[in-house]
Amino acid sequence: MALTLSVLDQSPIPEGSTGPDALRNTLDLARLADELGYRRYWLAEHHGGPMLAGPAPEVLIGPVAAATTRIRVGSGGVMLPHYSPFKVAEAFSVLAGLFPGRIDLALGRASGTDPLTTFALQRDRTKAMPDDFPQQLAELLAHLEDDLPAEHPFAHLPRFLPGRPESPEPWLLGSSPQSGLWASELGLPYAFADFINPGGDAIARRYSADFADGVREPRPRVMVAAWAIAAETDAEAQRLAASSRMTLRLLRQGRLIPVPPPEKALRYLESEGGAPTSSLGGPGAERRAIIGAPDRVAAELEELAVAYGADEVMVVTITHDHAARRRSYELIAEAVGLTDAPQPSRSA
């Protein structure tokens, strides 16, 4: 049985390119992923920087779903502290109504940006935002499920969500033990960001062990998100990966840049003492990097899925050249035998 694969797209902006170019690349990559048989296509949320063009997954999901035919499309994720739970429920209800059976709503607690930009995103700037993510999450799920208590002042609102009876599939994102505890208590599918916090297999396995069967899902569902690049040779894949290594090194220094070309990145990394080949970010900030020829990448993705007890692996790939990013996803799909494409769902 082929490994189930999905795509996390952060809409990277290559040096010398523009935000609109990056967004068009997102649509192009989504069409390719749909053709290749990837299960899901999730759009990330990042704010206030020159590297990524995806601050609003709820805006991008519609065009991506319209440009594809069978792949599930969703957020990876909506950073819920920035929003009203009811507003998120309304937006994703619209999407679910337009694209039945194809919309995912993955939710995260992080800000997706720096403290100043987080403050700029606040509607009320007279005080810090409350740390009430569990309450926000519970309210959002109650809106989607029309399960608010009768005495709640918002109890009448869920019945007017415009996409009913369709609804998005909720997921919880995480990279820490707390997110796994919430996901297990609420009976939600759980997506762990190994590309942010490698070695979270113990967190994922505790989620599965503690999962509240039947609350929302009959069994635990784990997806692990991994950073990967495949190319025809190991050497070429390592060359392509230099672009992300440079951006992450500079990010640690508070310097945000568009994705540089590999040659520029290699010169920078050499000046900084060379580039590691098994991690990203540099000494003291290692992130797992699955990089190499297709068979190597496929084998490591399969090992990662086994370690996490994951049903699915979501691949995030950033390169300067969009053609190289396309080719990486093609090579990975071929190497793992991604032939059982999702069946077409009902048209909108």
Question: What is the rounded average pLDDT of the residues 65-84?
Answer: 96
pLDDT tens-digit profile of 13-62? Answer: 999 999 999 999 999 999 999 999 999 999 999 999 999 999 999 999 99
Distance CA 323, CA 111 (A): 30
Residue 320 maps to a domain = yes
**285 has a pLDDT exceeding 70:** no
- How many residues does this entry show for the chain? 348
Residue 251 maps to a domain = no
Would you say 191 and 253 are in contact if contact means Cβ atoms under 8 Å apart?
A: no
Number of domains in the chain: 1
Report, in angstroms and rounded to the nearest whole number, the Rg of the chain calculated over CA atoms: 20
**274 has a pLDDT exceeding 80:** no
Residue 241 maps to a domain = no
Residue 341 maps to a domain = no
Distance CA 260, CA 135 (A): 41
Given this model, what pLDDT does residue 348 score? 33
Residue 139 maps to a domain = yes
DSSP annotation string for 271-317: HTT---SSEES-TTS-EE-EEESHHHHHHHHHHHHHHHT-SEEEEE-
Residue 203 maps to a domain = yes
CATH number at residue 185: 3.20.20.30
Given this model, what pLDDT does residue 193 score? 96
Maximum separation of any 2 CA atoms in the chain, in Å: 64
Domain of 296 in residue numbering reads as 5-233+289-336
Residue 257 maps to a domain = no
Tell me which of 278 and 114 has the higher pLDDT. Answer: 114
Given this model, what pLDDT does residue 288 score? 86
Q: How far is CA 287 from CA 142, 148, 238, in A?
A: 36, 41, 15
Does the model's pTM come out above 0.85?
Answer: yes
Residue 274 maps to a domain = no
Distance CA 53, CA 342 (A): 28
